[in-house]
Amino acid sequence: MNVLDRLETTLRVRGGHRLSGSVETHGAKNAALPIMAAALLAKSPVTLHRIPNITDVSVMRQLLEALGARLRSEGPGTLTIDPSNLSSYRAPYTLVRKLAASFDLVGPLLGVFGRAEVPLPGGCVLGTRATDLHEHAFRALGAEVSNAHGYLIATAVARRLRGGEVAFRQPSVGATKNALLAAVVADGTTTLRNVAMEPEVVDLANFLVAMGARVRGHGGDTIVVEGVPELHGVEYEIIADRIVSGTLLLSGCATRGDVTVERCVPEHLALTLAKLSECGVKVTSGTDWIRAEAERITGGTDILTAPHPGFPTDLQPPMLSFLCTCPGISTVEETIFNARFSYVNELARMGADVRVAIENNTALIKGGAPLSGAPVEAPDIRAGAALVVAGLAAQGETEIIGLEYVDRGYERLEEMLSALGGQVQRSSGISPVVEPLGTFETTAYPSLAARGPSA
């Protein structure tokens, strides 16, 4: 399939169908990526379970292989990483440019080689992706850090990093992960203050402990690490993806449905579930399941995104789409990223009444009016999910371009939603005729290839 056809792959959503039933969530993207990077620190092979089958994971796989690791799929969701032949501390730009999380490699490469050369993550549609907090941590652990030709170059002054005190100006998921990854094999004890408490950071710390690292305090605001000479291989299962779980629940709520998500961790979504209850959703949960019954929505609510345990910024877009269906006024204030409302323009094309005040990064939603299906374009992973949620609630058909973004963070989202009764279908540009979706006619989707070389 050529790149032009790939760009034409779309998701077609037929709205107005109430979602109901149970669906199992998959492993967490934002735990799998740093844990795959952390596997480089082991002296023997690591086997990981519940690795999601998403494109961000395949890019991370290619990065690890480019550095000399040997990877083997052992069945659905199971991956073995053998880092015993690592041959390079320089990550290739062609791969890093596709994945901001590639920056998680700096800590492990410093730990293995005492040196790391990784392209800077650059900007993305969410806004600036600064690295000053990462660099602050590396310097505090005895590394010299410089930026040259778009690369971050970090070199341990002594052969091994040394333990130290790191106080973060603000919690940062990425900087906390990188500091942790650099500290576990440093010489001495490290104290990390004002750290991120996200479940994915905790999962990374638990994985490192399983490999023999000495880490305590993760999940709180201060982590203490006693460096050890080396880490050993281990078999480990990644936690459930709370953002995918939340997206599935919001899809059900937007259609006034009754959806249960299984194999998830309810406490990872505590505030999100409280916010759904404020809108009139009946939320019940057990050890590893959450049920959201949304037959009677009473109104909207106010959201402020914040570091965990605050409302997760990655659920801000799907939540905003759901709030567009809730009668009354709602507000969503985004405090983590400075440009995370670009998808609102696409929602407006579906009839949503949302106004974004740039000065305080806050959206004001006047909800309740019916949404109408429209062709829309996803600018990033979670915005793509927001457009799917809106499409499920809308009258008529919504066609979403930019499916490659959704595929970065969601494993076959259309299959999970179809299992709940959603009318959602992937239509790739190369198949000129899209299989009819249930009760509505679909138009043939002309492939670019069919339009000849001038396309």
Active-site residues, by number, are 124
> In angstroms, rounded to a whole number, what is the distance separating the alpha carbons of residues 271 and 267?
9
146-151 contact pairs (CB < 8 A, 24+): 147/120, 150/93, 150/119, 150/120, 150/122, 151/90, 151/93, 151/117, 151/118, 151/119, 151/120
| Cβ proximity of 131 and 152 under 8 Å | yes
| Residue among 65, 74, 132, 295 that touches ligand EPZ (CB under 6 A) | 132
**What 3-state class would DSSP assign to 17?**
coil
Least distance (Å) between residue 412 CB and ligand EPZ = 17
DSSP single-letter state for residue 111? H
* By CB under 6 A, residue 23 contacts ligand EPZ: no
Near ligand EPZ in 184-243, by CB under 6 A: 196, 198
Tokens 């650099």 found at: 182
Q: Give the residue with the Cβ less far from ligand EPZ, 44 or 128.
A: 128
List the Cα angle 201/139/161 in 5-degree steps. 80
Burial 167-194 (b: 16+ CB within 10 A, else e): ebeebbbbbbbbbbbbbbbbbeebbbeb
172 binds ligand EPZ (CB under 6 A): yes
Residue with structure tokens 């052969």? 159
The residue within the footprint of ligand EPZ, chosen from 10, 25, 30, 190 (CB under 6 A), is 30
Q: Is 272 in the site for ligand EPZ (CB under 6 A)?
A: no
User: At its nearest, how many Å lie between ligand EPZ and the CB of residue 173?
Assistant: 3
Q: What is the dihedral of CA 180, 186, 189, 193, to 10 degrees?
A: -30
Q: Which stretch binds ligand EPZ (CB under 6 A): 105-113, 129-137, 350-358, 447-455?
A: 129-137
Q: Of 106 and 161, which has the nearer Cβ to ligand EPZ?
A: 106
Smallest distance from ligand EPZ to CB 452, Å:
37
Minimum Å distance from CB 32 to ligand EPZ? 9
In the complex, residue closest to ligand EPZ by CB? 174
When the beta carbons of 8 and 56 are compared against ligand EPZ, the nearer one is 56
Query: Is residue 55 close enough to count as binding ligand EPZ by CB under 6 A?
Result: no
User: Cα-flanking dihedrals φ and ψ of residue 275, to 5°?
Assistant: -70, -40
The answer to whether residue 133 forms part of the interface with ligand EPZ (CB under 6 A) is: yes
Neighbours of 18 (CB within 10 A): 16
Of all helices (H) and strands (E), which one includes residue 63?
helix 55-66
Q: Does 315 bind ligand EPZ (CB under 6 A)?
A: no
DSSP count for the chain of H helices, then E strands = 15, 23
DSSP, collapsed to helix, strand or coil, labels residue 404 as helix
Please state the closest distance from residue 137 (CB atom) to ligand EPZ, in A.
Answer: 9
Is position 15 an interface residue for ligand EPZ (rule: CB under 6 A)? no
**Is 336 an interacting residue with respect to ligand EPZ (CB under 6 A)?**
yes
Total residues at the site for ligand EPZ (CB under 6 A)? 26
CA distance 54 to 404: 10
Site string for ligand EPZ, 68-107 (x = CB under 6 A): --------------------------------xx------
Q: Which two structure tokens, joined as six digits, stand for 123?
A: 């900007």
Is 134 a binding residue for ligand EPZ by CB under 6 A? The answer is yes
Closer of 257 and 312 to ligand EPZ (Cβ): 312
Stretch that binds ligand EPZ, among 126-134, 142-150, 342-350, 353-361 (CB under 6 A): 126-134
99: tokens are 């994945």
Site stretch for ligand EPZ (CB under 6 A), options 27-35, 152-160, 210-218, 394-402: 27-35
- The residue (of 84 and 170) whose beta carbon lies closer to ligand EPZ is 170
Three-state SS for 100?
helix
Q: Does 174 bind ligand EPZ (CB under 6 A)?
A: yes
Q: Write out the residues near ligand EPZ by the rule CB under 6 A.
A: 29-30, 33, 100-101, 126, 128-134, 172-175, 196, 198, 313-314, 336-337, 381-382, 409
